[in-house]
Structure 1
Amino acid sequence: MGALMANGMTSLQTSATGITAGKRKFIEDRRDQPFDKLLRLHVRQTESASRYRDIMVRKYDGFTHILLSTKSSENNLLNPEVMKELQSALSMAGADASNLVLLSTVGSVFCCGLDLVYFIGRLTDNRKREGARMAEAIRSFVNTFIQFTKPIIVAVNGPAIGLGASILPLCDLVWANEKAWFQTPYTTFGQSLDGCSTVMFPKIMGGASANEMLLCVRKLTAQEACVKGLVSRVFWPGTFTQDVMDCIKELASCNPVLLEESKTLGRCNMRLELEQANERECEVLKKIWGSAQGMGSMLKYLQRKIEEL
């Protein structure tokens, strides 16, 4: 035991010496930089090391990059655990020196909406209780986007389906890869509307086009989504990532007060309306998930998807 303790203490001392030497070199190499800049760099490096299971967070000068990369589900599907991680990352970005947030994903899919397999697995235990719990998770998740005070820019690299598409109008800019597409097939899998789509879709694209998406399950290409106002800009696939980062760095260099105040002025009259819409939508979700008919509709949808494979 004494040998183990001695070895342990020696390892700790060696590590501490290495860390101290590293810190000394870090400071010596950057003596010409102001202390507050060094401190901000250290904080960014520390936060970049934060570990999440279903997302990655990278801190850059002026902005936070949040990437959806789910391990607990396929195709960047959303369940309460994934949504909590996204909320946590947004909360950190809202409180630190980031001027804005870039939200994107890893892989060729942006987000395929709610993880219905996860939801059905929970609903089989106690429909009413679990339905209420999951509706509350969605309400809280959507409210995070409604109430976030800094600009959120979304880079959509592939399919955006269901809640993955309906939250886009709650963000400030949506940039899409030309290969991306958008669909809200709620009626197909027996779920009611979410993400404030009952309010935002008609606002940005008009009632008729909104109904085509929300009720008739119409799929929009990136170019169509841009024409209808769901997408801000469409980028060429081959240079999508680089183009997005170039634009983000330029935007992040703007006066942060100006960015935040501009967003506040643009959204101040809509916040209450959106929160109320979110509340109404989640009440309907709770009702559907608590019913045998709603459960049956989701099971039928999943069965069809399995048969198509």
Structure 2
Amino acid sequence: MIRKSLENGVQTLRLDRPEKKNALTGAMYTDLAEALEAGNSNEDLRCHLICGQPEVFTAGNDIGDFLQYAGRSAMSETPVVRFLRALVRNEKPLVAAVDGLAIGVGTTLLMHCDMVFASPRAFIRSPFVDLGLVPEAGSSLLGPQLMGHARAFELLCLGKPFNAEQAERAGLVNTIVEGDVDAEALACALEIASKPPEAMALSRKLLRGNTDALSERVEEEIKIFASRLTAPETIAAFQAFMSKKKV
């Protein structure tokens, strides 16, 4: 589930499924998408903060849940795609607090954040190719822009994990927090919320630039991702992954 609260201009979106390492279900994606979408027109909301649980930000997609709802409808109509589009269209500053695992979409959503705080035990990995898939959330565009081709290839194609220090050097993380990472991220979100909102919105828009190319890349990734779901090597990779989970 997603626990939502709005206080002092900051909407906190806490991933709260610790028994499954915060693996994201369709319902959780829908909650996140709705929160971002509604936030665009809420004048009382000036900043979003996404955080998880101790030692786990998110393990990424709940694969079993994803395969069920992806099999019932077109990929473009799934909750995860709604969330990815909401990330691109989000107009409010976005802060993340990462403690422990940040896998798959837990990695790629960080590229949409304005500020990312991580604990020393952050573990960032995107095993898309290992599952016979391709990167998503516009990461195939944002990754090279953010960290250069070589590091983006290492993270998104080789699936190499980044620890907190590596993620900071790559530009995925702003600050490594030795103490309470959630508190540090919240303090930053509150600082953002305290500033003149129109000036903040205009400044952020200038920094982000035109997002048409990003939106187009997200849609391109979605089409390729959907086609990959029926590829023999992808089916075999998913079967192997699910077998490991049952052991």
TM-score, length-scaled by structure 2: 0.91
Within 5 Å, give how 1:188-203 maps onto structure 2. Answer: 188-203=130-145
> SS of the counterpart of 1:188?
helix
Equivalent AA in structure 2 for residue 98 of structure 1? L
1:304 aligns with 2:247: no
CA distance in 2, matches of 1:221, 1:118: 28
CA distance in 2, matches of 1:149, 1:248: 15
Q: Which residue of 2 aligns with 1:118?
A: 65
1:95 aligns with 2:41: yes
Q: Which residue of 2 aligns with 1:222?
A: 164
Deviation, structure 1 residue 111: 1.1
- Of Structure 1 and Structure 2, which has the larger fraction of its residues in helix? 1
Report which stretch shifted further, 98-107 or 272-281.
98-107
Deviation, structure 1 residue 305: 4.1
CA distance in 1, matches of 2:6, 2:119: 23
Q: Which residue of 2 aligns with 1:64?
A: 11
1:288 aligns with 2:228: yes
- Between Structure 1 and Structure 2, how many residues are aligned? 246
- Residue segments in structure 2 that go unaligned for 5+ positions in a row: none
Q: Which residue of 1 aligns with 2:114?
A: 172
Cα–Cα, structure 1 residues 147 and 273, in superposed 2: closer, same or farther, change >3 Å?
Answer: same
Deviation, structure 1 residue 161: 0.4
Q: Which residue of 2 aligns with 1:206?
A: 148
Deviation, structure 1 residue 172: 1.2
1:112–1:161 CA contact under 8 A, matched in 2: yes
Deviation, structure 1 residue 199: 0.6
> SS of the counterpart of 2:124?
strand
Q: Which residue of 2 aligns with 1:244?
A: 185
TM-score, length-scaled by structure 1: 0.74
> SS of the counterpart of 1:287?
helix
2:5–2:13 CA contact under 8 A, matched in 1: yes
Q: Which residue of 2 aligns with 1:37?
A: none
Cα–Cα, structure 1 residues 282 and 257, in superposed 2: closer, same or farther, change >3 Å?
Answer: same
Cα–Cα, structure 1 residues 244 and 170, in superposed 2: closer, same or farther, change >3 Å?
Answer: closer
2:51–2:182 CA contact under 8 A, matched in 1: no
1:255 aligns with 2:196: yes
1:120–1:295 CA contact under 8 A, matched in 2: no
> SS of the counterpart of 2:131?
coil
Superposition RMSD on alpha carbons, in Å? 2.0
Equivalent AA in structure 1 for residue 113 of structure 2? C
Cα–Cα, structure 1 residues 122 and 264, in superposed 2: closer, same or farther, change >3 Å?
Answer: closer
Deviation, structure 1 residue 245: 2.6
Equivalent AA in structure 2 for residue 171 of structure 1? C
CA distance in 2, matches of 1:301, 1:107: 25
Equivalent AA in structure 2 for residue 279 of structure 1? E
What whole-Å deviation, never above 9, does each CA across 1:171-221 have from its counterpart, x for those lacking one?
211111121120011122222211111111111111111111112111111
Cα–Cα, structure 1 residues 135 and 229, in superposed 2: closer, same or farther, change >3 Å?
Answer: farther
Equivalent AA in structure 2 for residue 102 of structure 1? L
2:102–2:124 CA contact under 8 A, matched in 1: yes
What whole-Å deviation, never above 9, does each CA across 1:39-95 have from its counterpart, x for those lacking one?
xxxxxxxxxxxxxxx111111112211111138x71111232111011112223322
CA distance in 2, matches of 1:207, 1:135: 31
Of structures 1 and 2, the one with the larger relative CO (CA 8 A, separation 6+) is 2
1:167–1:196 CA contact under 8 A, matched in 2: no
Deviation, structure 1 residue 250: 2.2
Q: Which residue of 1 aligns with 2:85?
A: 143
1:181–1:222 CA contact under 8 A, matched in 2: yes
What whole-Å deviation, never above 9, does each CA across 1:260-292 have from its counterpart, x for those lacking one?
1111111232x1111111111110111112345
> SS of the counterpart of 1:195?
coil
Cα–Cα, structure 1 residues 122 and 89, in superposed 2: closer, same or farther, change >3 Å?
Answer: closer
